[in-house]
Structure 1
Amino acid sequence: MSEYQVTQGQTFPLGPSIHPDGINFAVVSEDANQLYLCLFDSHDQELQSIPFIAKHRGIWHMLVLGLEEGQRYGIRAEGPFEPEKQLMFNPTKLLIDPYAKALTDRLVWHPDQAAITEQGVIQSQDSAHCVPKCLAIEPKVQTTRPARVQVVNHERSLYELHVKGFTQQLDIDEQHKGKYLGVISPPAIAHLQSLNITTIQLMPCFAFMTEKHLQQLGLSNYWGYNPINFFIPEPSYAQNDAVAEFQAMIDGLREAGFEVILDVVYNHTSESELDQSCVSFRGLDNAQYYRHQAGQYLNYTGCGNCFDTFNPASIRLICDSMRYWVDVMGVDGFRFDLGVDLGRTDHDFTANAPLLQAILQDPILSQTCLVMEPWDIGPNGYQVGQFPKGFLECNDKYRDSVKRFWHGDSGMIAEFATRLLGSRDCFHKGHKSALNSVNYITYHDGFTLEDLVSYKERHNLANMEDNRDGHGDNISQNFGVEGETQDPEILALRLNQKICFLATLILSQGTPHLLGGDELSHSQQGNNNAYCQDNEITWLNWSKSSQSQALKDTISKLMSLRKAYPILAEVHLEDDALFQHLPADQVTWLNEDSETMSHEDWHTPDRHFIALMLTTANLGSRLWLVFYNQPTLIKVPFPSLSDHDAEVEVLFQSPNVQVEDKHLACSGACVALVKL
């Protein structure tokens, strides 16, 4: 018999909600025969197991009188155990409420969490001892928070930041290292502001778990792409209260002038394969929450399971999660990991998928910054340019083409020009702006900028997979020495190449994305898949150097130029119906003689120079952009502009560029921006 009085309560909101006389609980499980609310004391001893007394449209609910905010609890579920039908009910497993907002501790993998043995029979060990307890809290919307930063679309620039890696070796108070509050320490804010970026893209901050195989190897999931729950902030990044400290971080970034978007993982969970952890979704309603066919998981993520984003309960859960992170936690948008899964129906991708449409019609979510990683590993999993126009999309074609151009590959001029002008083969005129293309050279997965110019091969032995993981083709170069060197000539070549990469990125049409640490010459020692390295390989090195200062100055100056000359981010072309209501800008492509590119010029395989003239509709600005990727000297005459010939201002030049009597002398690979 329960010591607590229970009434039917309400089906809304889902999760725990605090009432004057108790706490209401509402949990979705379509297929369960019975759910139980398990109450725990402050020592994690189970006090009561109270059966839910009401179920309506798949939602179990009740109001437990006498409970107070902060109560520790978990869920148990009874129902059929039929793995061949994906029914995995096992009441010996304590489950985390999908709508819980906080946990008592981090979740660590333990064999007792499994609902099924490797032989396919039910596993009967109770898991309460190895599953953190939910805390019944209901964080409120703060009305006195700093105002959100409104970023103009053509000025947006993304800076990808890992909370721990960014702050762990920063010169700040010890208790703030690796923490949310470290991100808003004075040195961190000063550094971010010095770059002239607009938007912080936080790597995953959902509470996450280290996978079994990594734990057994003595490694850990550092990146955080392995979520337990879609509402709870990662507790290891907090000193005491993860919810309050995450909110404080957002407030501090707002006050410093930044928009903040959060990298989110809605495509899979940490429960992994069927015989791994049963700690939440699997135990509550495995057949509903995960994609499956013929009794097997559909693993379109490569992570052991695939969240069924076509299921109405999942769609509601994801949208509720997103609104919570916007309204309560304060973020301004999202970057979606493996976003094609969010656009799948039964199996196939469509831009009209219910979840994508639900996001775009939502009056709150539709106004946020939405960035898609437009692929997964399932069938037809590559969908760059195919998402609805409300989403920006990470453009790997840009990354690879720009890398190949600066690598010096032949036959790249036409492809490179396409990427410079917004990848219109993917983001078509009349339908999408070039700003939909999120351009990047480096991301968390792959080489850092420093390693891109320092290593020809990946060096991933520390991951303990015999150097088989990570991309094999990095389109990288080392300029004569693999890895670190003190050779001043090699260091100068590497610095020049990094500056050329950054200048290309920031002067391209579209939305630029920077990897945090590239401006510090951060190296991962050639590791291009450092997801399991929670150490100096991934923690940013804040030691000062002349190279780092040059890179920071380059980024800051170029970001200022993008804001001063919007045509650098988004040109309004005459043949683009998207801008038919606006006066048209002009683009002219030029060769090394500053003559209009001919058909032959475009199709000459060994051409390594390209320039373009951007002229605003009011003729107020004529900007000449020059790109050259060879080590030999060429002299490029200024374009002829009749009476404007004398009005020349070099806005930006990389180290190998000099102005000589109406010529640019390019003594090696270089980028220049000249106002004529």
Structure 2
Amino acid sequence: MNSYAVNNGHAFPLGASVTDNGVNFAVVSEDATKLMLCLFDEQDNEVERLPFVAKQRGIWHMEVLGLTENQRYGLRAKGPFEPNHQRLFNEYKLLIDPYAKALTSKLVWHADQAAINEQGEAHLVDSAYCVPKSIVKTVRPTPNRPKRTKVLPSQRVLYELHVKGFSQQLPIDDALKGTYLGVISEPGIAHLTELGITTIQLMPCFSFANERHLQELKLKNYWGYNPISFFAVETSYAQQDAIVEFQQMVDGLRNAGFEVILDVVYNHTAESELNQSSVCYRGLDNAHYYRHAEGEYLNYTGCGNCFDTYHPASIRLICDSMRYWVEVMGVDGFRFDLGVDLGRTEHQFTPRAPLLQAILQDPILSNTCLVMEPWDIGPDGYQVGQFPRGFLECNDQYRDTVRRFWRGDEGVTPIFATRLMGSRDYFHKGRRSALHSVNYITYHDGYTLNDLVSYHRRHNLANMENNRDGHGDNISQNFGHEGPTDNLEIQAQRLNQQLCFIATLLLSQGTPHLLGGDELSHSQQGNNNAYCQDNEITWLSWQQSEARKALQTTISSLMKIRKAYPILAEVYLEDDPLYQHVEPDHIEWLNQLSQPMSELDWAESERDYLALTLTSADLSNRLWLVFYRDDQLLHVPLPSNAGKIDVLYQTPGLHIEDKQLICDYRGVLLAKLT
């Protein structure tokens, strides 16, 4: 006989909710014929199995009287075992509640978690011993939470930060290294504040697992793009209580004036291939949670499975998760990994996909900062510029063009000009502002800025895949030597190239994205896919150097300039219907004679000099922006009607002398003309 009295309870809210008399449980499992609630003691011994007593619209629910906060539990689902039809019900497999706010431990892959054996039959080994238990947890917002920092879109600059990588080698107490609280330590906050950036983009903090092949290689999933829960906080970054400490980190960043957005993975889970783990979604409702066709998974993510974001239960789960992280955990927005999957219906992408529309109509979620990675590896998986308004989009076209320009590739200058002005070939006039383009030179998945100018080829042997993983074409250059060098001339060239990259990024139309550590001249030793390197390859080094000083000074200086002159982020074009309600600004493209660019100038395949003037609608500001990518001496006359010239920023190779611009070697200059 059961030790606990139960009643029907309620279908909402989903998950485990403490009531006046016990705990209400509500779980989605449309095809299960029976769902069991398994209760565990503090030693993780299973002490009770209670069958759910009510089901409506695919939701099993009941209230268990007498249960309290912190009760450990799991689920078991009984139903058809039909792998060819994507049904893998197996009551021997303990399952995590998709809505659990906390887990007893980190998920570690084990062969006994599989629902199916090598012969294609049900795997009849109880997995409870190797699956984390869900914990009944009531999580509330922190009292007196700092208000959200209101960031003007034209001033937003994203800074991508890995919690452990950022704080592991900070000069702080050992107990804080690699933790949420380490991020908001005094040195951490001081560094971020000095840069002048507005928005912290945290790499994944959902509870995640190591992939099986990494575990076998004795490596770790360092980046965290392999979630098992969309609610539970990753515990490895916490000293004691991950929930409390994550909230404290967000509050600390808000107190310091930052907007905080979280990199989220809703496109796949750590359950991986069909024959691997069955620890949550697969065991509850595999046919509905994951995309499949003709008995096979549709692997649009490259990670073994693809979350079916077209199904109503998945849409509800993702939106509930997002609201939890905003309203309870305190974040101000999201960056979506492999976002095209979120915009797929049955198989095809559409900006009118139900999940995208659900997010944009939600009064809470639509008021946050939403950044989309606009691709996956499925059919028509490249959708840059195609997401609905409300989503910013990572623009890899900007990255590649800017890299090619500064490398000296032929025929790039006209495209470079397009990228500078907000990539209007992708973010079309009349439809979207240039600020929707998230411009970047480097991201976590690729070279650091230092490595971009130090390596010609990837060096990923530490990943133990024979250097086959990671991008093969990085559009990089090493200035004559592969890797670190004592040659002072090469060091100077590399630093100057990094300054040119940063200046280009922060003086382009759109929303800039900086990779955390680039300002420190951080190197990953040429590894452009360091997802499995939890060591000094990825941990930021905080040693002082001339390169670090120059890079940090450039970023902080340009951030002040960008805020002082909004036209640098968003110019109101006369021929753009989006801005028909305001007075237009004016731009003019100039050649090396400071004359308007002709068709012949634009057609010159090896054009190394490009400049433009930006004049605000009220004529209060006229800015002269110059890009020169050659290393030959060039003298350029000042633009007509220049009058007085006030240099706002210049890289070492450019300077004004005797009423002309002297270009000793490649560089960037920004001046105010009066």
- TM-score greater than 0.5 by the shorter chain: yes
The answer to whether residue 516 in structure 2 is matched with residue 516 in structure 1 is yes
* Corresponding residue number in structure 1 for 2:392: 392
Which blocks of at least 5 consecutive residues in structure 1 are unaligned? none
Instruction: State how 1:594-673 maps to structure 2 within 5 Å.
Output: 594-641=594-641, 645-673=642-670
* Corresponding residue number in structure 1 for 2:161: 161
Q: 1:138 deviation in Å?
A: 1.5
CA distance in 2, matches of 1:243, 1:262: 15
* Corresponding residue number in structure 1 for 2:75: 75
For 1:444-485, what per-residue CA distance to the aligned partner results, in whole angstroms no more than 9, with x for missing partners? Answer: 001000000000000000001110110111010111111011
CA distance in 2, matches of 1:506, 1:162: 22
Aligned amino acid, residue 213 of structure 2: H
CA distance in 2, matches of 1:507, 1:46: 60
The answer to whether residue 218 in structure 2 is matched with residue 218 in structure 1 is yes
Which blocks of at least 5 consecutive residues in structure 2 are unaligned? none
CA distance in 2, matches of 1:93, 1:637: 75
* Corresponding residue number in structure 1 for 2:494: 494
CA distance in 1, matches of 2:204, 2:169: 20
* Corresponding residue number in structure 1 for 2:480: 480
Q: Report the TM-score when normalising by structure 1.
A: 0.99
CA distance in 2, matches of 1:612, 1:430: 23
CA distance in 1, matches of 2:486, 2:48: 66
CA distance in 1, matches of 2:409, 2:670: 23
* Corresponding residue number in structure 1 for 2:46: 46
For 1:501-558, what per-residue CA distance to the aligned partner results, in whole angstroms no more than 9, with x for missing partners? Answer: 0000000000000000000000000000000000010000111111101100000000
The answer to whether residue 579 in structure 2 is matched with residue 579 in structure 1 is yes
SS state of the match for residue 384, structure 1?
coil
* Corresponding residue number in structure 1 for 2:292: 292
For 1:19-74, what per-residue CA distance to the aligned partner results, in whole angstroms no more than 9, with x for missing partners? Answer: 12100000000000011110000100001011000001111001101111000000
SS state of the match for residue 494, structure 1?
helix
For 1:651-674, what per-residue CA distance to the aligned partner results, in whole angstroms no more than 9, with x for missing partners? Answer: 000010121111111111100001
CA distance in 1, matches of 2:563, 2:119: 61
Q: 1:198 deviation in Å?
A: 0.1
8 Å Cα contact 2:142/2:247 also seen in 1 = no
For 1:80-126, what per-residue CA distance to the aligned partner results, in whole angstroms no more than 9, with x for missing partners? Answer: 00000000000000000000000111010011100001221111111
* Corresponding residue number in structure 1 for 2:366: 366
Q: 1:143 deviation in Å?
A: 4.1
Aligned amino acid, residue 603 of structure 1: A
Aligned amino acid, residue 131 of structure 1: V
CA distance in 2, matches of 1:369, 1:479: 39
Aligned amino acid, residue 667 of structure 2: C
CA distance in 2, matches of 1:287, 1:387: 27
8 Å Cα contact 2:454/2:477 also seen in 1 = yes
CA distance in 2, matches of 1:100, 1:110: 21
CA distance in 1, matches of 2:297, 2:422: 38
Aligned amino acid, residue 412 of structure 1: V
* Corresponding residue number in structure 2 for 1:564: 564
For 1:181-214, what per-residue CA distance to the aligned partner results, in whole angstroms no more than 9, with x for missing partners? Answer: 1010000000000000000000000000000000
CA distance in 2, matches of 1:168, 1:127: 34
Q: Report the TM-score when normalising by structure 2.
A: 0.99
* Corresponding residue number in structure 1 for 2:447: 447
SS state of the match for residue 191, structure 1?
helix
SS state of the match for residue 552, structure 2?
helix
CA distance in 1, matches of 2:543, 2:77: 53
Aligned amino acid, residue 96 of structure 1: I
For 1:592-628, what per-residue CA distance to the aligned partner results, in whole angstroms no more than 9, with x for missing partners? Answer: 1100000000001111110010000010000000001
For 1:564-612, what per-residue CA distance to the aligned partner results, in whole angstroms no more than 9, with x for missing partners? Answer: 0000000001111111010000010000110000000000111111001
CA distance in 1, matches of 2:228, 2:138: 19
The answer to whether residue 384 in structure 2 is matched with residue 376 in structure 1 is no
Aligned amino acid, residue 339 of structure 1: G
CA distance in 1, matches of 2:88, 2:261: 35
SS state of the match for residue 125, structure 1?
coil
Aligned amino acid, residue 217 of structure 2: L
Instruction: State how 1:74-93 maps to structure 2 within 5 Å.
Output: 74-93=74-93
SS state of the match for residue 62, structure 1?
strand
SS state of the match for residue 308, structure 1?
coil
CA distance in 2, matches of 1:518, 1:447: 10
CA RMSD for the aligned pairs? Answer: 0.6
* Corresponding residue number in structure 1 for 2:141: 141
SS state of the match for residue 530, structure 2?
coil
* Corresponding residue number in structure 2 for 1:590: 590
CA distance in 2, matches of 1:310, 1:281: 15
CA distance in 1, matches of 2:424, 2:402: 15
Aligned amino acid, residue 481 of structure 2: V
8 Å Cα contact 1:410/1:608 also seen in 2 = no
The answer to whether residue 326 in structure 2 is matched with residue 338 in structure 1 is no
Q: 1:173 deviation in Å?
A: 1.0
* Corresponding residue number in structure 2 for 1:190: 190
Instruction: State how 1:140-289 maps to structure 2 within 5 Å.
Output: 140-289=140-289
* Corresponding residue number in structure 2 for 1:8: 8
Aligned amino acid, residue 648 of structure 1: I
For 1:313-353, what per-residue CA distance to the aligned partner results, in whole angstroms no more than 9, with x for missing partners? Answer: 00000000000000000000000000000000000000000
Aligned amino acid, residue 392 of structure 1: L
CA distance in 1, matches of 2:143, 2:542: 36
CA distance in 1, matches of 2:425, 2:655: 35
CA distance in 1, matches of 2:2, 2:539: 50
Aligned residues: 673
Aligned amino acid, residue 413 of structure 2: I
CA distance in 2, matches of 1:146, 1:674: 38
SS state of the match for residue 625, structure 2?
strand
SS state of the match for residue 531, structure 1?
helix
CA distance in 1, matches of 2:41, 2:237: 25
* Corresponding residue number in structure 1 for 2:432: 432
SS state of the match for residue 55, structure 1?
strand
CA distance in 1, matches of 2:659, 2:158: 36
CA distance in 2, matches of 1:435, 1:646: 32
CA distance in 1, matches of 2:542, 2:127: 43
SS state of the match for residue 193, structure 2?
helix
SS state of the match for residue 531, structure 2?
coil
CA distance in 2, matches of 1:50, 1:490: 69
Aligned amino acid, residue 520 of structure 1: L
SS state of the match for residue 532, structure 2?
coil
Aligned amino acid, residue 49 of structure 1: R
SS state of the match for residue 500, structure 1?
helix
CA distance in 2, matches of 1:326, 1:30: 28
Percent identity over paired residues: 69
CA distance in 2, matches of 1:548, 1:119: 57
Which aligned segments of 4 or more residues in structure 1 are displaced greater than 3 angstroms?
none
Q: 1:141 deviation in Å?
A: 2.6
* Corresponding residue number in structure 2 for 1:538: 538
8 Å Cα contact 1:268/1:305 also seen in 2 = yes
8 Å Cα contact 1:589/1:613 also seen in 2 = yes
Aligned amino acid, residue 536 of structure 2: E
CA distance in 1, matches of 2:235, 2:117: 30
Q: 1:424 deviation in Å?
A: 0.1
8 Å Cα contact 1:266/1:337 also seen in 2 = yes
